A and B are shown apart, each in its own frame.
Chain A
Amino acid sequence: DIQMTQSPSTLSVSVGDSVTITCRASQSISSWLAWYQQRPGKAPKLLIYRASILDTGVPSRFSGSGFGTEFTLTISSLQPDDFATYYCQHFNSNPWTFGQGTKLEVK
């Protein structure tokens, strides 16, 4: 199975900051990667798929990049609504697996 490792696990940030979260795959997954946002007590929400394609309605301050084994999610100018936990997930081959999550907390 392909393992997905996110870093950091927690990030203390402030409104207005630019944030970068890294996701590494244990083997190449091409660009078969998705990013999700999960606010407390809510279902996750798709942000990005195919590593860099924003889902409909996702603000342009979110961006994704990467190919192969290393990927990043960047949030420019963090907004109050962005304090949440972010997960990456590969869908290169079965079984699909998630990273362990990165929680953005208020500094």
Chain B
Amino acid sequence: QITLKESGPTLVKPTQTLTLTCTFSGFSLTTGVGVGWIRQPPGKALEWLALIYWDGDKRFGPSLETRLTITKDTSKNHVVLTMTNMDPLDTATYYCVHSPGGFADYWGQGTLVTVSS
């Protein structure tokens, strides 16, 4: 059974760096598999942020690549997302997802991150 769970701060201040960890189980980050992040501002649509594949290849969402870093620790079944220079517009629920390539077939429950001073 595939599960993913997001962890990290629920509140960050503007200009700070956000670090979110996805801890997954039920699969290994092996051939053909990716783990990524999708976010959703309150009442708004979904937005792909980043994905890292088993081989280290990465994909980034529109307009955010310069602020994002995504890394994996295969031995710990972790994927970590960092986003620099946080702004109140980055307030959103952040989801960790399993992806066989381009779409998300398993989702974490999501974690709401609020950006406020």
Binding site for B on A (CB under 8 A): 1, 32, 34, 36, 43-46, 49, 55, 87, 89, 91, 94-101
**B102 / chain A contacts, CB cutoff of 8 Å:** 32, 34, 91, 96
B95 contacts the other chain (CB 8 A): yes
Q: Which residue of A lies closest to B106 (CB)?
A: A46
Asked whether A46 lies within 8 Å of B105 as measured between CB atoms, the reply is: yes
In the complex, 15 of the A-B residue pairs with CB atoms within 8 angstroms, ordered by the A residue number, are A1-B62, A43-B107, A43-B108, A44-B107, A49-B103, A55-B105, A94-B59, A95-B62, A97-B47, A97-B61, A97-B62, A98-B47, A99-B45, A101-B45, A101-B46
**In whole angstroms, what is the CA distance A55 to B61 when docked?**
24
A46 to B102, CA, bound (A): 12
